């Protein structure tokens, strides 16, 4: 920001991997009088939201809508299906996986980690091996993130399901889709996921404060015997009230207006087009980073995330100082660094209501800041990103990430 100025011109570049920029259409849909949450008008709104969200998870079963952030839906998934002392298998893909594991411990579960160096997705083979070792079938759930937001590593959920089946293991499959839902493909029923956790403020383009549990019949059956304490997050009362178009308590009415609008927008664009757009913006970002000569945290091209790219800083350069510098000069926010990469990286979010021009702007800001901060790099990364985007728009062959 220039000196002696209390105003920043233009829009802030919100390049964090959630919350994402809220489209004007969603803001306008939310800018409406509050209605009686026990009245007939509300029931219509609730039905549209409850039906609409099923099309995003691709499920025929009910989806729970919580007035809580994604962390609340993590808790909902665990407390509704599991019992005190249950073993759960989790994969340490990064910071968010670690936080979910901590929650499981606090709730009285016994989580076990498959450890990684935070630079890959979940390995279905290692999951299968762990399940095969569990002859007594004591592991009650396998918990993975479809997209690890702290590192930009994606996991193949269909392959994880196959691994569980190959081991002949009855564990539930729980998937955190918070930073991938409505940005990359997700198929709840087809992939046989038991509980999916979603959040509003990433691909769904809403402000923070709403989250979801998509559930399978098997998860509903597990709910009947689960003994972990549950109250606010209990599925049974929610499902009973949702059936008649209401909630057990006052839900975030304005958020429901926004959700309905966001879902309409996704379908107007077409989900497959939304996914292709995210793939394109992500690949363009990686082309720039590779041209600069910097390393991407994710070291497995098959696991590259389409919603966030984490960039390793060269030795002697602090990622958080870099972020502060870019914010000061160019009014941009990048994702912070975490855990074993604290200070060593910054993250570019390229998800939600964003497009080629915005990402090119963000990459140009990044290249300028690399220069200002004296970070060694080769100029021209933005050009590499532009060349790639133009080739895709021109009908050029889509090049695989590899
Ligand atoms: C953002 C995020 C969370 C946390 O969600 P909150 O809404 O901040 O509670 C959990 N998991 C993943 C993968 C996320 O990206």
Q: For the chain, how are helix, strand and coil distributed in percent, rounded to 5?
A: 45, 15, 40
Residue with CA at minimum distance from ligand 1 atom 6: 70
Q: Final residue of a domain: which of 211, 243, 267?
A: 267
Question: Does ligand 1 lie within 6 Å of residue 96's CB atom?
Answer: yes
Do the beta carbons of residue 152 and residue 24 sit within 8 Å?
Answer: no
Q: Quick one: pLDDT at residue 78?
A: 99
Mutation test residue for ligand 1: of 70, 73, 177, 186, the one with most atoms within 8 Å of CB = 70
Tokens 């926004």 sit at which residue?
A: 258
CATH number of the domain at 368, please: 3.90.1150.10
Question: Does ligand 1 lie within 6 Å of residue 121's CB atom?
Answer: no
Q: Quick one: pLDDT at residue 396?
A: 54
Angle subtended by helix axes 381-393 and 271-292, to nearest 10: 150
- 249/347 Cα distance (integer angstroms): 37
Share of the chain above pLDDT 70, in %: 98
108 φ/ψ angles, rounded to the nearest 5 degrees: 90, 15
Question: Does ligand 1 lie within 6 Å of residue 69's CB atom?
Answer: yes
CATH number of the domain at 56, please: 3.40.640.10
Q: Final residue of a domain: which of 220, 239, 267?
A: 267
- 211/197 Cα distance (integer angstroms): 7
Q: Quick one: pLDDT at residue 312?
A: 98
Radius of gyration of the chain from Cα atoms? 21
Question: Does ligand 1 lie within 6 Å of residue 176's CB atom?
Answer: yes
And the tokens for 92? Answer: 């340490």
Q: Do 202 and 328 share a domain, yes or no? A: no
Q: Do 377 and 348 share a domain, yes or no? A: yes
Stated as kind and residue range, the H or E segment containing 305 is none
Nearest residue to 65 via CA among 225, 258, 224: 258
- The pTM of this model reads 0.96
Domain that holds residue 357: 13-20+270-401
Helices (H), 115-156: 124-133
Q: Do 158 and 239 share a domain, yes or no? A: yes
Q: Do 115 and 260 share a domain, yes or no? A: yes
Return mean pLDDT, the chain. Answer: 96
And the tokens for 377? Answer: 């790099």
189 found inside a domain: yes
Question: Does ligand 1 lie within 6 Å of residue 208's CB atom?
Answer: yes
Q: Final residue of a domain: which of 222, 250, 267?
A: 267
Span 365-391, average pLDDT = 98
Query: What is the whole-number distance in angstroms between the Cα of residue 17 and the centre of ligand 1?
Result: 10
4 found inside a domain: no
Q: What is the per-residue pLDDT across 221-265, written as a single tens digit (0 to 9) for each?
A: 999 999 999 999 999 999 999 999 999 999 999 999 999 999 999
Question: Does ligand 1 lie within 6 Å of residue 97's CB atom?
Answer: no
Nearest residue to 235 via CA among 65, 351, 67, 59: 65
Q: Do 120 and 134 share a domain, yes or no? A: yes
Question: Does ligand 1 lie within 6 Å of residue 94's CB atom?
Answer: no
């Amino acid at each position: 920001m220039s000196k002696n100025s209390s105003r920043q011109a233009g829009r802030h570049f919100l390049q964090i991997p959630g919350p994402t920029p809220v489209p004007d259409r969603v803001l306008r849909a939310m800018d409406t009088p509050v209605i009686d949450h026990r009245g007939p008008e509300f029931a219509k709104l609730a039905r549209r939201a409850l039906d609409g969200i099923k099309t995003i998870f691709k499920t025929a079963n009910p989806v729970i809508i919580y007035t809580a952030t994604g962390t609340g839906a993590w808790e909902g998934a665990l407390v509704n299906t599991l019992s005190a002392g249950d073993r759960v298998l989790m994969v340490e893909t990064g910071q968010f996986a670690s936080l979910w594991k901590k929650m499981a411990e606090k709730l009285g579960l016994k989580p076990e980690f498959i450890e990684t160096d935070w630079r890959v997705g979940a390995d279905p083979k290692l999951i299968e091996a762990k399940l095969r070792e569990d002859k007594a079938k004591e592991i009650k759930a396998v918990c993975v993130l479809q997209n690890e937001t702290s590192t930009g590593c994606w996991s193949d959920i269909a392959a994880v399901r196959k691994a569980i089946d190959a081991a002949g293991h009855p564990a539930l499959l729980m998937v955190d889709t918070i930073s991938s839902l409505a940005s990359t493909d997700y198929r709840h029923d087809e992939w046989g996921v038991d509980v999916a956790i979603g959040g509003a403020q990433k691909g769904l383009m809403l402000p923070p404060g709403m989250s979801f549990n998509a559930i399978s019949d098997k998860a509903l059956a597990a709910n009947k015997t689960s003994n972990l304490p549950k109250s606010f997050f209990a599925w049974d009362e929610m499902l009973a009230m949702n059936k008649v178009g209401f909630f057990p308590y006052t839900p975030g009415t304005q958020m429901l207006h926004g959700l309905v609008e966001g879902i309409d927008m996704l379908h107007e664009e077409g989900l497959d087009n939304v996914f292709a757009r995210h793939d394109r913006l992500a690949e363009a970002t990686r082309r720039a980073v590779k041209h600069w000569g910097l390393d991407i945290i994710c070291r497995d091209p098959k696991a590259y995330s389409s919603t966030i790219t984490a960039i390793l800083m060269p030795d002697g350069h602090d990622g958080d100082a870099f972020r502060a510098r870019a914010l000061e000069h160019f009014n941009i926010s990048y994702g912070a660094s975490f855990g074993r990469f604290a200070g060593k990286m910054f993250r570019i979010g390229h998800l939600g209501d964003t497009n080629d021009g915005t990402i090119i702007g963000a990459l140009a800001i990044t290249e300028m800041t690399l220069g200002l901060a004296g970070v060694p790099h080769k100029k021209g990364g933005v050009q590499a990103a532009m060349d790639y985007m133009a080739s895709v728009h021109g009908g050029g062959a889509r090049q695989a990430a590899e």
